[in-house]
Amino acid sequence: MRWAMAPTAVPDAIEALRAGQFVLVYDADGREEETDMVIASERVTAAAIRTMRKDAGGLICTTADAAIQDSLGLPFLSELFKDTSERYPVMDELIPNDIPYDVKSAFGITINHRKTFTGITDNDRALTISEFSKLARRAISEEDGWGKRAFGEGFRAPGHVHLLNASGRILESRFGHTELSTALVIMAGMVPSATVCEMMGDDGNALPKAEAKAYAARNRHVFLEGADVIAAWKEFRKE
């Protein structure tokens, strides 16, 4: 990629992700206005999960791009709600069709690896995410439904790791942390899955951007605006 044409912080973020470090990503003013801690799923460890739950405090989720979704047969949760609404009419009423900052929820299913116990411990969640990443890497290159069979053999649902399905054409119609973080790991040449967690403040609201920047500076993390990622992605796609 022509990194000279990308925002200065993006190459640093790419290198940080490759090294298994966190990157902080703020989506945009007027959207969620939240900063997420982002790490490449293939680099997730129990220590990383502990940092996310203690320093960020939001919901720890793992993204999947369209190739992973197709190879593993991953649905959107709202689609499952719709499909079950005839038997459970309340599910039709619960469809998230009024999200104030987006047109569609990225939430997919929740999973645990079958070798976990409760699934919620740092060790268990790290195992689920790292094994999901390993499976995804192989599944997107396999044929004949191998990924779907292996997914069922290795994982159970529901579980304690929330999957987020990236939109099919990343950063064209949806510009959330699911797409921003997935775009970053793709540009890094890694498995197209990132693990993210919203940074929360002690006042019960999202951590203000200025405080997220200060946290990044103290911990030597790269801080990115969503617009930086979008600009870099456009250049990457030209390649």
Catalytic residue positions?
36, 61, 101, 112, 160, 198
CB-count burial class (<10 Å; 0-12, 13-18, 19+) for 1: middle
Order of strands across the sheet that contains 23-26: 107-113, 155-165, 61-64, 194-198, 35-40, 23-26, 222-225
Tokens of 98: 């009024």
Helix axes 122-139, 146-154, angle to 10 degrees: 170
Contact (CB, 8 A) for 185 and 192: yes
Half-sphere exposure of 214 (CA within 13 A, CB side): 6
- Say how far apart CA 42 and CA 111 lie, in whole Å: 16
Give CA 194 to chain center in angstroms: 4
Contact (CB, 8 A) for 81 and 184: no
